[in-house]
């Protein structure tokens, strides 16, 4: 480590505190009223629902407002971290440490920031798999932080709180942009299909079956494995809303006539036939010839232009609020599965527009979507910089560069020695039981 500022010391977290792990509550102990149980989701999301407890509780597992806690188990990036509990008196669940220390010797807010500044290091040493990992008590206690004099701790904590509050405000504003862009795109599509976008007046509609060919695909069965000819084919999972996910494309056995009949051509639109959710029924994407000789399964309905409509114009309709509404209306619901059919898709109608008008609409939509995409990319870049700003501020704070230093402050070495002396003279609390209260 680089040279410490004057009056600072490097210290292990365990030199400053005692750790109490939460209780492993059994599901049958959960109640609908009583003492709230603090779980990791209650630390990360203030609106998360509580479970409650009514039994006898070890006082060590009792948490009051203002207690410093550390979530030591879960998914990296979402679960770990130090928090000051701002909720009501509660019972502490497992996977969370209660951090007990002398708040007259170590500033609570400073301590929280000091721990969180070490999160990447702690997560890097966590045990377990990719999804669920945990930091052991020993690892946490041995993690080193820098400790300044007490009055400087308070200055750092105050400055960090002010700066990080500004960062949080920026994050909230940036996080709101994707929803605004989603509404913008939806508005563009709605205006495009009504003619408002290009100031075109539509006076009639025409069925999709009149401007293109609508067919089904290959039915999967056990006999397919015996066919000599095998071709790549698209499944429902490959067709997302407005794009194709080709990360996993499987092969299927087909006859030569099936391969010819169901082979995809550039400009084909694939529409999902069935889904348990109305939100996803009829989602569609355009084939651009990504894979040679590719076919599609029967749960995807294919629309192919006969020259009467541009594929891009039809996709604008299918993706628009009007198109989505029409798809939902014609979808049948059988035991919760909403389904479309060739005949149902054939009956859908689009505005009558000549190819020149369609091209004008498509160009305008593409221009506006390109603008939205550029803005989205900039927002993503800004978000990454803002996310990095928090760690940058913490790093600066714990290098002694965030606030002025005062040579007259009591050195942290004296403070640390006093903490060690007091802890050595303080008997450890004994286990006990108390009744849980609401």
The sign of the CA dihedral 25, 27, 31, 36 is positive
Q: Residue 338 has what pLDDT? A: 83
The whole-angstrom separation of Cα 424 and Cα 143 is 20
Mean of the pLDDT values across residues 32-49?
Answer: 91
Q: Which two tokens stand for residue 244?
A: 């194709």
Q: Residue 276 has what pLDDT? A: 75
What are the angstrom distances between the C-alpha of 81 and each of 30, 127, 175?
25, 16, 21
Q: What is the pLDDT of residues 288-330, one digit of tens each?
A: 999 999 999 999 999 999 999 999 999 999 999 999 999 999 9
The whole-angstrom separation of Cα 139 and Cα 269 is 55
Please list, residue by residue across 304-339, b when 16 or more beta carbons sit within 10 angstroms of its beta carbon and e when fewer do. ebeebbbbbbbbbbbbbebbbebbeebbeeeeeebb
Q: Which two tokens stand for residue 315?
A: 């996709």
> Domains in the chain, please, with CATH?
9-149+410-435 (3.90.220.20), 150-202+353-401 (1.10.287), 207-348 (3.90.220.20)
What are the angstrom distances between the C-alpha of 255 and each of 46, 188, 232, 331?
58, 43, 13, 31
Contact 271, 318 (CB under 8 A): yes
The whole-angstrom separation of Cα 77 and Cα 97 is 18
Q: How confident is the model at residue 430 (pLDDT cuts 50, 70, 90)?
A: low
Q: What are phi and psi of 97, to 5 degrees?
A: -90, 135
DSSP-based helix, strand, coil % in the chain, nearest 5: 40, 25, 35
Q: Residue 98 has what pLDDT? A: 97
Q: What angle do CA 336, 342, 346 make, to 5 degrees?
A: 115
Contact 206, 251 (CB under 8 A): no
Cα 119 to chain center, whole Å? 19
Q: What is the pLDDT of residues 75-91, one digit of tens each?
A: 776 778 999 999 999 99
| pLDDT above 70 (res 18) | yes
């Amino acid at each position: 480590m680089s040279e410490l500022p004057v009056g600072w010391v490097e210290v292990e977290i365990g030199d400053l505190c005692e750790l109490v792990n939460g209780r492993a509550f059994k599901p049958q102990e959960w109640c609908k009223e009583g003492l709230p149980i603090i779980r990791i989701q209650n630390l990360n999301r203030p609106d998360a629902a509580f479970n409650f407890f009514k039994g006898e509780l070890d006082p060590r597992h009792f948490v009051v407002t203002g207690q410093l806690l550390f979530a030591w188990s879960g998914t990296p990036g979402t679960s770990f971290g130090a928090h000051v509990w701002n909720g009501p008196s509660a019972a502490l669940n497992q996977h969370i440490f209660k951090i007990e220390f002398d708040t007259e010797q170590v500033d609570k807010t400073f301590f929280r920031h000091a721990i969180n500044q070490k999160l990447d290091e702690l997560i890097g040493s966590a045990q377990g798999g990719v999804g669920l990992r945990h930091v052991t008590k020993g690892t946490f206690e041995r993690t080193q932080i820098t400790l300044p004099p007490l009055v400087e701790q308070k200055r750092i904590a105050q400055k960090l709180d002010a700066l990080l509050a500004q960062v949080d405000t920026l994050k909230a504003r940036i996080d709101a942009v994707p929803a605004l862009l989603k509404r913008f795109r939806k508005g563009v599509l709605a205006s495009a299909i009504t003619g408002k976008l290009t100031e075109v007046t539509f006076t009639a509609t025409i069925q999709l079956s009149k401007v293109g060919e609508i067919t089904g695909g290959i039915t999967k069965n056990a006999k397919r494995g015996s066919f000599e000819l095998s071709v790549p084919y698209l499944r429902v999972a490959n067709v997302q809303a407005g794009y194709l996910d080709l990360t996993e494309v499987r092969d299927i056995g087909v006859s030569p006539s099936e391969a010819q009949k169901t082979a995809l051509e550039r400009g084909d639109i694939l529409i999902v036939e069935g889904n348990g959710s109305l939100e996803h029924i009829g989602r569609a994407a355009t084939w651009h010839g990504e894979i040679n000789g590719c076919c599609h399964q029967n749960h995807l309905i294919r629309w192919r232009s006969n020259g009467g409509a541009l594929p891009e114009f039809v996709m604008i309709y299918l993706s628009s609020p009007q198109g989505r509404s029409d798809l939902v209306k014609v979808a049948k619901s059988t035991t919760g599965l909403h389904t479309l059919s060739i005949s149902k898709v054939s009956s859908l109608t689009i505005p009558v527009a000549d190819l020149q008008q369609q091209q004008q609409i498509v160009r305008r939509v593409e221009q506006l979507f390109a603008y939205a995409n550029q803005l989205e990319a900039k927002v993503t870049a800004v978000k990454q910089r803002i996310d990095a700003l928090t760690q940058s501020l913490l790093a600066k704070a714990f290098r002694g560069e965030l606030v002025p230093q005062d040579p007259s402050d009591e050195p942290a070495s004296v403070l640390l020695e006093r903490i060690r002396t007091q802890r050595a003279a303080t008997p450890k609390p004994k286990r006990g039981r108390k009744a849980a209260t609401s």
